[in-house]
Amino acid sequence: MTLTKKQQNNKQIPIELIYEISRSINGYGNLLIKKQINDTSKQQKYFVSKIKCSENVLISSRIIYLFSGNTLKEILNYFRKINKRKIMVVKLEDLIKKIEIEKEEKIRKNREECANELLRMPKIQDILDGITEQFNKEIEEEYKQKMEELKKKYEEQVLVLPKNKLVKVDEVMSCCDSKCLPAGSFCCNGNGIVKIRECGIFAKYFCSTQNLEGNRPIMVFAESEFMRARIPSDVSGQTYVVFYCEMKVIPDTDENMDWKAELGLYKDANCFFRVSSNGHYYTATTKRMFSELLTGCVIFGVGQIFPPRNKPNAPTQIFFTMDGKQIDKTILMSEDVDLLPHIIVKNCDAEVNFGMDDTKPFTYDIGKHEAAYDN
């Protein structure tokens, strides 16, 4: 309830204000008392006594409104802006809720202090204005700083999800040496083949019907490379940009079937990076073990991180994940290289996730990945 200037000059506190405060404290039972006590001075004494006896003093809705300010709107507007850019950010909604809870707790504690001040001082409106102005200023400064820190955090690393899909089988690592396998056809030698299905996100391996030796590892390439040129123009020059994809391996139901699956990035035979279901990590010059031989379904992931434009000497980074956790060490490259996502399958199927379907999130929490920011 807001007091007019005329009401502020009165010596006595208006009965309506006292009644509103008392009703907030003691409930609607005061309505009956107000009707029973006709004398205004007695009503005032009764409600004042009720207020002074209460230990939990609440403030009117106007005080709450003044304390709230525009901070929450600013946070929500920033959240919507991130969604429009379709950039994956890490649990932003949870962080906003955490900040909101923290803010409301501060408001609750100070609200009680303000209420006590209102009851002790004669000039209620002046006190209210002074307290709320100072308090709002402090709150705005505090949460303005938190907003800046939050924005800075999400500007440090941005996930870019360009349209991508599996499109072709390698001519060398194919069904046979005859180069007879465009995607979706059959091998002229009767060997196992791979067919690309479901709009380029599923690779189906069809085993040989003639002999098991005819089932060879087959390499399948994606359509688009991970490359700096695909970074959106509105991404800040201070931001690390991440390209990432995952592959779910679906082995043959026959436990005796020898299967294999690999995921990685490829430039040519002299420049590639892969992880394999046999527990090894491969490059053109390196073979290193990171796990025992894998069995059953597994989800591999591979990511490439481009440094900000304002750090021209920082290295490009490559990392791998398995079942939602990073494996092996981050690879630091001396120069930017455009690399093509690819898979290798033998006697198993593979489903690839390029992040374009919001109903199928990545297994790895890419928002929590720590790039080598200091490089």
With beta carbons less than 8 A apart as the criterion, state whether 364 and 325 touch.
yes
Percent of the chain surpassing pLDDT 70: 66
Residue of 35 and 312 predicted with greater confidence: 312
pLDDT of residue 335: 80
Bridge partners for 332 per DSSP: 317
Instruction: Examine the pLDDT at 90 and tell me if it is beyond 70.
Output: no
Residue of 137 and 76 predicted with greater confidence: 137
Max intra-chain CA distance, the chain? 107
Burial class, 58, CB count within 10 angstroms (exposed 0-12 / middle 13-18 / buried 19+): middle
Token duo for residue 20: 């509103």
Average pLDDT, the chain: 76
Amino acid sitting at position 33: I
Instruction: Examine the pLDDT at 303 and tell me if it is beyond 80.
Output: yes
Q: Model's pTM, two decimal places?
A: 0.59
Bridge partners for 274 per DSSP: 264, 282
> Mean of the pLDDT values across residues 254-280?
91
> Among 241, 245, 297, 237, which Cα is nearest to 266's?
245
> Among 121, 341, 111, 99, which Cα is nearest to 243's?
341
Residue of 290 and 76 predicted with greater confidence: 290
Q: 1-10 long-range CB contacts below 8 Å, 24 or more apart?
A: 1/60, 1/62, 2/62, 3/124, 3/125, 8/123, 8/124, 8/125, 8/126
Token duo for residue 176: 């046979």
Alpha carbon of residue 125 to chain centroid = 44
Amino acid sitting at position 203: A
- Strands 348-353 and 340-346 come out as unpaired
327/281 Cα distance (integer angstroms)? 10
Amino acid sitting at position 348: C
CA–CA distances in Å: residue 117 to residues 127, 134, 138, 247: 8, 14, 18, 63
Least confident span in 21-30, 158-167, 240-249, 344-353:
21-30
- Strands 240-251 and 157-159 come out as parallel
Bridge partners for 197 per DSSP: 202
Residue of 373 and 238 predicted with greater confidence: 238
Instruction: Examine the pLDDT at 319 and tell me if it is beyond 90.
Output: yes
- Strands 240-251 and 298-306 come out as antiparallel
> Mean of the pLDDT values across residues 352-359?
90
